[in-house]
Structure 1
Amino acid sequence: MDMKELSVLMQQNGIVGAGGAGFPTYAKLNENADTIILNCAECEPLLRLHRQLLEKYAQEIVDTFHLIGEAVGAKEVIIGIKKAYTRTIEALNAVIGVYPEVRLGLLDEVYPAGDEVVLIYEVTGKVVRPGGLPIECGVAVFNVETVYNVYRAMNQQTPVMDKLVSVVAEVEHPMTVRVPIGTSIEETVRLAGGVTTPNPVYFIGGPMMGFIGSGSQPVTKTTNAVLVLPESHYIIQRKRQKVSIDLKRAAACCCQCSMCTDLCPRNRLGHPIQPHLFMRAATCKDVQKPDIFVNTFFCSSCGLCEMYSCFQGLSPRTLMAEYKAGLRSHGLKPPQVVPKPVGEEREYRKVPMERLMARLDLTKYNREAPLDESAVPVRRVKIMLSQHIGAPASPIVKQGDTVTAGQMIAEPAKGLSVGIHASIDGVIKEVSEKYVIIETQEGRAGK
């Protein structure tokens, strides 16, 4: 399959990055990519779905990734995976021998190994310029579940209509489940047994970069995990802090120890992001060096500075995100910057995942969460039309239409966009500019 055919297949089958912001995968296909990397770093604490999926479907995923490499003309195909994932590595070693261009890029158990800029450096030694794209240094990075979705589209004619989600923490049976896209978070959590804490809070995504959600919101193509946490948990309390109070606390408490900068993963790669200088300038309203504010564009929002590094419990990441959003709203863009050389000290400033989990009070939740791909009966789904970076898909169904699982219900819009598909058999109950609701006949009869 050539690159053009593969691109059409990906766009029509709704394949996007299965985590993060959901960048349409077809747009990553580029003949300038001499290296492609499969990201199995499992960046966030408690998440397991990528290593589980790669272990179970090693042959299918490696075959497909090899084909993607052939389509773009990549000379090197790397699987970035942590050394600790021994069972997955064994499964990979059993199949990669027939592909001479495929190798494993073994990673330490540190955070944030899954940040693509960090991952690229670890397995290739290349530094992506600040604010730049991986393709500028001849690299494209793909998510494990994304590549598995390409396999399904190519070999099973199955578009993206379901999602693997790890349900962990305060539940009776932590597990990774496959649910139809549009299933409510609450219904997804129920698959892991009863909730084990009163007044649970649903934290969507990883504990470092996720957000507080609600039980009624739907699973999307980028929903990797749901952490069920008590209201009093450290992570929840930090997320609920007010920015205005964060700024005042920083003005009163920041001692300029520079720990936030010393442990910043992007700073260690030579990017000009210096959280401690930002904290001083922002709290003192000192604009004599505007680059300090402009350089917030280069923050990856990994959260280490505020969730791990700062002993005062301050919030550099949150405050920088506010300033970055303000700059963008006024039309500013990141400047062209050349990174500084990577220093030897970087190797000694990596944050071990074990220590991070202890700091976040998550160690007690670090339990097995086995993969269960059993069919999940769902009577109602709310499918968002914008589950990816770019233009929302355009609905091609109307209220009252009968649809089957896998049927396209919204076609790619002009520009960067992908198709959206029905995740269950049923009848279209509602169509809006933002979503499509589908109900099964049983669901409609029960009302």
Structure 2
Amino acid sequence: MDMKELSNILQQNGIVGAGGAGFPTYAKLNENAETLILNCAECEPLLRLHRQLLEKYAQEIVETFHLIGQAVGAKELVIGIKKAYTKTIDALNGVIGAYPEVRLGLLDEVYPAGDEVVLIYEVTKKVVRPGGLPIEQGVAVFNVETVYNAYRAINQSTPVVDKLVSVVAEVDHPVTVRVPIGTTIEETVKLAGGITTKNPVYFIGGPMMGFIGSGSLPVTKTTNAVLVLPEEHLIIQKKRKKTSIDLKRAAACCCQCSMCTDLCPRNRLGHPIQPHLFMRAATCKDVQEPNIFVNTMFCSSCGLCEMYSCMQGLSPRTLMAEYKAGLRANGLRPPQVEAKPVGPEREYRKVPMERLMARLDLTKYNKEAPLDESVVPVSKVKIMLSQHIGAPAAAIVKQGDKVTKGQMIAEPAKGLSVGIHASIDGVVSEVTDKYVIIETQEGRAGK
């Protein structure tokens, strides 16, 4: 299969990064990609869906990874996976022998091993320049579920109509389930049995980079997990702090110990991001060195600085994100800079996942969440037209239309965009420029 044909299949079937920002996968196909990396680092604490999926569908995923490599002409294919995922590694070892260009890139159990820039360095020793793209180093990175979705599109003509979501923490039966795109978070949580805490809060995504959401929010192509946490949990309390108060606290007690910078994964790779200097400049309103503020644009928002490193419980990541957003809103782009050489101390400043979970009071939630791909009956879905970086898809259905599962309901817009598809059989009950609602006949009858 050539790159043009593969690109069309991926775009029309709505394949995007199944996590993070949802970058359209077809746009990652590039003949300059000499190395492809399959990301099975399972970056965030408590998440298991990638290793589970890769263990169960090792043959299908590796075969598709190989096909993508052939399409772009890549010389090397690397599966980045933590050494601790022994069952998945065993499954891969039983498959990769048939693909001589595929090798395993074994990773330590540290955070954030799944950060794209960190992962590339760990398995290739190449450093992506600050603000740069992996393709500049001849590298393209793909998510495990993304490649599995590509397999389904290529071999089964199945577009992205569902999503694997891990439901963990304060639930009776932690589980990883496959639900139709557009299912509410509340309905998804119910699949893990009862909630085991009063005043539960739904934390969507991983504990380090996720956000507090309501039960009415729909599952999208990038929804990886829902943590059900008690309202008083420190992660929830941290997220609910006001940035104005955070800034005042930083002015009062930041001691410039530089621990946030010393443990910053991007700084350890030579990127000019120095959270401790930012905290000093921001709290003192010192603009003598404007690059301290500009360099916030190189922050990956991994959260280590405020969730692990700072002994005062301050919030460098949150404050830098606010400044970074302000710079972008005013049209500023990251400057062209080169990374400094990676120092030997980097190896001794990695954060073990076990210690991170203990610090976040998550160890008690580190339980098996078995993969359950049973069909989940849903009577209503709200499908967002923007579930990816780039232009939202353009709806091609109207209210009252009958649709079937897998039918395209929004076509790719001009520019960077992908198709969106019906995730259930039913009738379109509402269409806006932001979403399409589909209801089953049973759901409409129950109104």
For the aligned pair, the TM-score class normalised by the smaller chain equals: over 0.9
State how far apart, in whole Å, the 1-side matches of 2:406 and 2:421 are.
5
Q: Following TM superposition, where does structure 1 have runs of at least 4 consecutive aligned residues deviating by more than 2 angstroms? A: none
Q: Aligned residue for 1:356?
A: 356
Query: 2:432 is matched by which residue type in structure 1?
Result: S
Secondary structure (helix, strand or coil) at the match of 2:292 reads helix
Q: Does the alignment pair 1:345 with 2:332? A: no
TM-score (norm 2): 1.00
Query: 1:254 is matched by which residue type in structure 2?
Result: C
Q: Aligned residue for 1:207?
A: 207
Q: Aligned residue for 1:45?
A: 45
RMSD over equivalenced CA pairs, Å: 0.2
State how far apart, in whole Å, the 2-side matches of 1:216 and 1:252 are.
39
Query: 2:75 is matched by which residue type in structure 1?
Result: K
Secondary structure (helix, strand or coil) at the match of 1:39 reads strand
State how far apart, in whole Å, the 1-side matches of 2:329 and 2:95 are.
48
1:113-262 correspondence runs (5 A) = 113-262=113-262
Kindly state the Cα deviation for residue 266 of structure 1 after the two structures are TM-superposed: 0.1
Q: Does the alignment pair 1:265 with 2:278? A: no
Q: Aligned residue for 1:24?
A: 24
Kindly state the Cα deviation for residue 394 of structure 1 after the two structures are TM-superposed: 0.2
State how far apart, in whole Å, the 2-side matches of 1:331 and 1:390 are.
17
State how far apart, in whole Å, the 1-side matches of 2:48 and 2:241 are.
29
State how far apart, in whole Å, the 2-side matches of 1:52 and 1:99 are.
21
Kindly state the Cα deviation for residue 199 of structure 1 after the two structures are TM-superposed: 1.2
Q: Aligned residue for 1:99?
A: 99
Alpha-carbon displacement from aligned partner over 1:61-116 (angstroms, at most 9, x marks no partner): 00000000000000000000000000000000000001110000000000000000
> Unaligned 5+ residue runs, structure 1?
none
Count of aligned pairs:
447
TM-score (norm 1): 1.00
State how far apart, in whole Å, the 2-side matches of 1:415 and 1:338 are.
30
Q: Aligned residue for 1:76?
A: 76
Secondary structure (helix, strand or coil) at the match of 1:382 reads strand
Alpha-carbon displacement from aligned partner over 1:273-294 (angstroms, at most 9, x marks no partner): 0000000000000000000000
Secondary structure (helix, strand or coil) at the match of 1:410 reads strand
Q: Aligned residue for 1:325?
A: 325
Secondary structure (helix, strand or coil) at the match of 1:59 reads helix
Counting aligned pairs with the same residue, the percent is: 88
Q: Aligned residue for 1:378?
A: 378
Q: Aligned residue for 2:398?
A: 398
State how far apart, in whole Å, the 2-side matches of 1:412 and 1:188 are.
28
State how far apart, in whole Å, the 2-side matches of 1:56 and 1:93 are.
13
State how far apart, in whole Å, the 1-side matches of 2:162 and 2:236 are.
28
State how far apart, in whole Å, the 2-side matches of 1:389 and 1:108 are.
30
Alpha-carbon displacement from aligned partner over 1:155-174 (angstroms, at most 9, x marks no partner): 11100000000000000000
State how far apart, in whole Å, the 1-side matches of 2:400 and 2:188 are.
26
Query: 1:446 is matched by which residue type in structure 2?
Result: G
Secondary structure (helix, strand or coil) at the match of 1:219 reads coil
Q: Aligned residue for 1:67?
A: 67
Kindly state the Cα deviation for residue 349 of structure 1 after the two structures are TM-superposed: 0.1
Q: Aligned residue for 1:287?
A: 287
State how far apart, in whole Å, the 2-side matches of 1:407 and 1:199 are.
39
Q: Aligned residue for 1:427?
A: 427
Kindly state the Cα deviation for residue 236 of structure 1 after the two structures are TM-superposed: 0.1
Secondary structure (helix, strand or coil) at the match of 2:438 reads strand
Q: Does the alignment pair 1:301 with 2:311? A: no
Kindly state the Cα deviation for residue 233 of structure 1 after the two structures are TM-superposed: 0.2
